[in-house]
Structure 1
């Protein structure tokens, strides 16, 4: 695994959901804050997005927008004022057809894909935590071709019933999330993690740790893997990541253990071996010290969060 894949897998719950919508005329709908991440892709036409506490965002054909922290927001055919926000139709009811005006001939208006990912925010990788409230990727000729390809395929799959679409759509939504994160990192002018993953030393060390977290890593071994001296690794890694390499490894092992407790029925002894601890007791002690909760209690509470979703 790599850092981005692991950052997503630790928070993902269940399968993403999405709907393709075509509307025209005057419309305004509100999506309440959500314990996950929402997204919109404009296939045709244009609309406006107003995030809670943020500035309006104009969306045009081909634009993709991700709200990674589940920020509540309004989407509408035109810029909205406070009165319009108060009168916005709740998204679920709007989606059923009671709010939007759908063109009879299928022309005009705006066509878009709206959806969301379920996320478990109890253990969030710092890469995901530092994402802005709104990640807006405007459609520009020649930019992010992989993302554009996924958007095109997603629109086609949702536009008509095709054999295998029940498997194709969730897979495309997974790719969409990955490509949005890649595109954001490529364009980001702020934030620590784009710089971390762009640094050859820190990136090499992280790639090694995430590829085999159970290995008996030491600073010397990791420095050799990154192709630098131990002092250089310690300085570069700590400056960029915010903690020394072995401290990051400990945190990641315990975060991975939490994910396995949530997502698998594996006994604690099996999980301990997978994340580099010699005994279940050693993992339980470290887990309780790091997160303030025992592995058993964490597993029970995580099962409740999954069921509640």
Structure 2
């Protein structure tokens, strides 16, 4: 069968972020793959602090005051960044990093760990760089959240730690919103977040995220985006770094890991996600992860313990 994309001309792509403001691009992802923040420090940091890489563990640091050197990565990828203004530091995945502050009167920080559901396979984690530094003034609306976060983290009151943890999660959502509208400034070049930054591709991605059990053919995804098949396939590959079919399958399998962790049986997960049967899910799962669903779950539970 010949494709009839023919000579039909595609409308030029709108600027990144334009036209997508009314579309909720984050909720379908965050509802499937939650993130939990946990405050571990608020106040001055003097001298040299080391934050070791732990699988599945991210960090969100807020430099409130001061000047410091940040060392991140190891070996040939080790880099140094000088910070001299209030800055938010996001490490979405396990990356070794160090703070070098003056030995006395060090910089003032409020810091939390981030545990992303799915760890390194979390779709958000997979689509972000190892490290993002954002001056606080860049993110509209962030100041009000941080004012409340700092007020709670600086004083011990009933429920303050729980509230601070939730506020850190709000901060993360605000940062992710900013990244969707400014992917280049965040050094995001490919992946889910880049795809969601394109208003046309976002429509198809949201549809896939909301209905992982559906049969997402190229034709169906392109129709969701309002594009021809060839134009959609090319734009999708350029933005996400993968094909529509591979993305749809990867999303199914990522959701499968979430359901397995929640206690669903392999058979039920297969039914929930539109696989023909449990063996079909197991074969696809092994091709992508190198282990069966049960083997993967055993490894995950052992690592969590």
Q: Which residue of 2 aligns with 1:76?
A: 100
**Residue correspondence of structure 1 range 1-309 to structure 2 within 5 A:** 4=26, 15-22=37-44, 27-35=47-55, 36-52=57-73, 53-60=78-85, 62-78=86-102, 110-119=107-116, 120-125=118-123, 127-140=124-137, 143-189=138-184, 190=187, 191-193=189-191, 195-262=194-261, 264-307=262-305
Give 5+ residue unaligned stretches, structure 2.
1-22
Q: Distance in 2 between matches of 1:158 and 1:220?
A: 50
Aligned length: 273
CA-atom RMSD in angstroms:
2.9
1:6, CA displacement in angstroms? 6.3
CA change 1:300–1:7 in 2 (3 A) is same
Q: Distance in 2 between matches of 1:122 and 1:273?
A: 25
TM-score, length basis structure 1: 0.76
Contact 1:15 1:117 in 2 (8 A): yes
1:63, CA displacement in angstroms? 1.5
Deviations 1:12-62 (A, max 9, x none): 676533321235xx63322223332122212234433222411232142x3
CA change 1:8–1:301 in 2 (3 A) is farther
Contact 2:152 2:161 in 1 (8 A): no
1:192, CA displacement in angstroms? 1.8
Contact 1:30 1:74 in 2 (8 A): yes
Matched position secondary structure for 1:49: strand
Give 5+ residue unaligned stretches, structure 1.
79-99, 102-107
CA change 1:18–1:186 in 2 (3 A) is farther
CA change 1:128–1:187 in 2 (3 A) is same
1:204, CA displacement in angstroms? 1.1
1:163, CA displacement in angstroms? 3.1
TM-score, length basis structure 2: 0.77
1:158, CA displacement in angstroms? 0.9
